[in-house]
Structure 1
């Protein structure tokens, strides 16, 4: 079956298994509501394995199908792409990194798909040294805010492999004035994880930025501090 036919099969499967109650439930997690079919996650995982097996797919054919799937606005369709490519994790290489990078110009447009993408792919990228931190340089200024969010969220996984905090903080320095909330959340999340591992260096970086960066970054990053400890990270009054 060719990629277009596989996509058609997936669309039909989603329509056949749509659940209105799930659509209502998922809507609370998405600003502006949930656009999708309300499928149970387990169903998607099972269908992905079935499609790969029946079509004797390899990673190259997965790339072709996934490019078609990530363009769709219904939530489950890009989810199929993420799960499908993840089935080939043992074959990930630098081409895989380039492929998922291209997805952001096609249709990755919410925090959930962004964070799942990080969860599936980046642990392998870092562990197998498929990429280095500098390979994310262009992502920091990408047009898609979710590709920019991906940088600090992916760096959380990088913390398992590096303790070079000056290097990591220098890498995100240019992102600290990003205008988008989703990026602020990602940066704050990363800095909170850094704080758990090296409080001194992380707090020094936060003090440097406390008067200029978005307050949401500071809020997320200092979440584990006591009320009294957070006082030093308040923006100074001019």
Structure 2
């Protein structure tokens, strides 16, 4: 486990006690909040990325597992970012292995930044090119785990960029009745991305679901519309 140990030493060296306080508040770690109990070293994302990029070339899945199961948030983020860099630089067969490993090791992916910085770059990119695997998105959307549900919608991002909207719209509809605002925001974010590609597709979805769409989702989704159109949707 030498590589994992080296990563841990570098990360621990960057501990910032002042930022720890900020991160604990920002990521909602109080009792009853979604990040309850999470622990931090106060390390910025650019610092985590710099370390991840230096180690991803020759670190094994076993060593990555040490990182993504670690109690410290930034250590887990490092592990998941390493996987995204490995995926980007790998050939198809290895990409399948990374896709499977990621999905089998989601327990440490337990906050919105961990999800958003990793899932679409692995799950999203893989199912974009392997349509038969898209069923996993629907399985995740029906999970009882908040973060797996967020993965299901954010992972559709690469498809949106290719103007493939069907799965985004289907999963958005499945999640419209979700109770958590982190899902409302994620769905709204992806719908906004749909609108960037084709505003008429977004309008059609909103018009068909206007009576059930959460207000947060609606507000996020219409951000790129002009002021009068935004106002029109908010008054419906």
For normalisation by structure 1, the TM-score amounts to 0.78
Tell me how far apart the structure 1 counterparts of residues 56 and 156 of structure 2 sit (CA, whole Å).
Answer: 31
Task: Determine whether 1:74 maps to 2:76.
Answer: no
Q: Is the 8 A contact 1:94 1:131 kept in 2?
A: no
Tell me how far apart the structure 2 counterparts of residues 49 and 169 of structure 1 sit (CA, whole Å).
Answer: 34
Q: CA RMSD in A?
A: 2.9
What does 1:122-133 align with in structure 2 at a 5 Å threshold? Answer: 122=123, 124-126=125-127, 128-129=129-130, 132-133=133-134
- 3-state SS, counterpart of residue 32 of structure 1: coil
- 3-state SS, counterpart of residue 93 of structure 1: helix
Tell me the alpha carbon deviations over residues 94-145 of structure 1, each in whole angstroms, 9 at most, x when there is no partner. 33222212232x2211111111013542464256448643331211112221
Runs (5+) with no aligned partner, structure 2: 31-37
Partner of 1:184: 184
Q: Is the 8 A contact 1:146 1:182 kept in 2?
A: no
What does 1:63-212 align with in structure 2 at a 5 Å threshold? Answer: 63-89=61-87, 90-91=89-90, 92-104=94-106, 106-118=107-119, 120-122=121-123, 124-126=125-127, 128-129=129-130, 132-163=133-164, 165-166=165-166, 168-212=168-212
Tell me how far apart the structure 2 counterparts of residues 73 and 235 of structure 1 sit (CA, whole Å).
Answer: 45
Partner of 2:214: 214
Tell me how far apart the structure 2 counterparts of residues 136 and 191 of structure 1 sit (CA, whole Å).
Answer: 16
Larger Cα-atom Rg: 1
For normalisation by structure 2, the TM-score amounts to 0.79
Tell me the alpha carbon deviations over residues 74-99 of structure 1, each in whole angstroms, 9 at most, x when there is no partner. 22111221232234223343332222
